[in-house]
Amino acid sequence: MFYTDANNGVAWASFDLGRGSRLWRTTDGGDTWYPQPLDFLATRIAPADENTWFASAGGFTISLWRTTDAGAHWSQVADGLPIVTALAFSDTKRGTFVAQFGEIFRTTDGGDTWRRQASGTGNHLMGISVIGDVETVVGWNGTILHTTTGGDTFTP
């Protein structure tokens, strides 16, 4: 679940591979929730701004999807990725996702291309927080990685 401002929010639930996902949207601060169609199994959803969101989808082979109209329409932007454990964007162009085995992937073009980044760890990475150029990644065995360069380099 996330809010892009005090009134606009999104909640989703993923079910087993045969049943898919459900997405609900609010425009009144959570007083009323409206269902929106979602034609893929979303495992993670992250906002880049109020209208542009990214989602990871799939089971063992992961794809990334993007919407630029607040979830009304989605398009696939990448496929054949590792299992995405966390996904975050600082704006509509710059985003990061983390995965198992210490994998970090970055985009600087709105998700059209993704490049692998060195993390310095083989531990599963499980969470990411992004505020501007500052990113913090956490993972198994107390792994904490940090950057102030917008994800160009990470340090323990």
My answer on whether 73 and 86 are in the same domain is no
Look at residue 150 and tell me whether its pLDDT is greater than 80: no
My answer on whether 101 and 76 are in the same domain is no
For 36, the domain range is: 1-81
Number of domains observed in the structure of the chain: 2
pLDDT band of 18, cuts 50, 70, 90: low
Look at residue 16 and tell me whether its pLDDT is greater than 70: no
| Distance in angstroms (rounded) separating the CA atoms of residues 52 and 40 | 17
My answer on whether 1 and 75 are in the same domain is yes
| Distance in angstroms (rounded) separating the CA atoms of residues 11 and 121 | 32
Domain end: 60, 81, 102, which one? 81
Backbone φ, ψ for residue 111 (5° rounding): 95, 0
Report the SS3 class of residue 155: strand
My answer on whether 88 and 72 are in the same domain is no
pLDDT tens for 27-82 read: 999 999 998 878 888 888 999 998 999 999 887 778 999 999 988 899 999 999 98
My answer on whether 9 and 72 are in the same domain is yes
My answer on whether 66 and 109 are in the same domain is no
Look at residue 15 and tell me whether its pLDDT is greater than 60: yes
Domain end: 29, 63, 81, which one? 81
Domain end: 81, 111, 136, which one? 81
